[in-house]
Amino acid sequence: MTSDELLAAEFVLGLLEGEDLLAARARAQSDAAFAEEIAIWQDRLAPLADTIAPRTPRAEVWPRIEAALASESEAAGSESAKIVSLRRNLRRWQWAGGFSAAAAIVLAFLALPQLISPGLDTDERLPTAVQQARLAATMPIEGTPLSLALTYLPEDDSLLVGAVGLAADGVHDHEIWFVPDSGGDLVSLGVVTPGRVVAHDVPERVARALHEGSQLVLTREPLGGKPPDTAAGPVVAEARFTTI
């Protein structure tokens, strides 16, 4: 398996995060060969989704999770300590699994014929993903060859904004807004940081409303973003999320 095949497989399986994810998305738009590798892996793994039967976690699962989180919080004594503790546990679980991402991909590829063969008991052998899907959008900026790469990560309610290539002009900033389906007031998702990839927190009410097709717009504002008690500036770009 070549490095490009491995990267494409990690992309399709949702194993890439942060700058790696944004870089892979950008490359898929400009590199036809890499985009083809992604399409090949999507075709290989798509039958898995068709064979997965819906399942509901047992009633005792959520109370156990809540109890574990409460225990972590009490033992940590502070928010920062709690985060460190949870990350330490995550690393321990990852090492205990004994498989790298590459090994998982190889196993998925080799096991695919068996997983979709007749007689498979999907209720016993295939887990179901319960998380909201990740969403992505590419937002071309009016009057320039540049675009923003936007990726919503539901696992931590954050929006990765890639503004690589965008330079500050010292006069204006650009602000990202969520457009509610109901047509209500726009909700700010933060000011773009030119030349960097930055994670923006997504308000809970927006996170609950995001879905494939949700609209985002970009406005030109004074430095620092839209001033309080004023209307948003002119819209210079817009995009809609798609599922990845």
Burial of 170 (0-12, 13-18, 19+ CB in 10 A): exposed
Question: pTM of the entire structure?
Answer: 0.51
List Cα–Cα distances, 223 to 168, 199, 231, in angstroms.
10, 19, 15
Mark whether 213 and 143 lie in a shared domain: yes
CATH number of the domain within which 223 lies: 2.60.40
What's the structural domain count of the chain?
Answer: 3
Which of the listed ranges 80-84, 196-200, 230-234 does the model predict with the highest average pLDDT? Answer: 230-234
What is the mean pLDDT of the segment spanning 179-193? 91
Q: What is the C-alpha to C-alpha distance for residues 35 and 44, in angstroms, rounded to an integer?
A: 14
Which of the listed ranges 23-27, 111-115, 234-238 does the model predict with the highest average pLDDT? Answer: 234-238
Mark whether 154 and 212 lie in a shared domain: yes
pLDDT tens-digit series, residues 67-116: 777 766 565 555 545 444 444 444 444 444 434 444 455 445 545 554 44
Mark whether 20 and 103 lie in a shared domain: yes
199 is a domain residue: yes
- The kind and range of the H/E element at 140 are strand 135-140
130 is a domain residue: no
pLDDT value of residue 212: 93
Mark whether 41 and 78 lie in a shared domain: no
Closest to 21 (Cα-Cα) out of 190, 213, 149, 170: 149
Q: Which domain holds residue 76?
A: 61-95
Mark whether 69 and 148 lie in a shared domain: no
Which residue's structure tokens are 């959520």? 62
- Range in 4-13, 36-45, 62-71 the model is least confident about: 62-71
Q: What is the C-alpha to C-alpha distance for residues 105 and 199, in angstroms, rounded to an integer?
A: 27
- Range in 31-45, 97-111, 147-161 the model is least confident about: 97-111
Mark whether 154 and 179 lie in a shared domain: yes
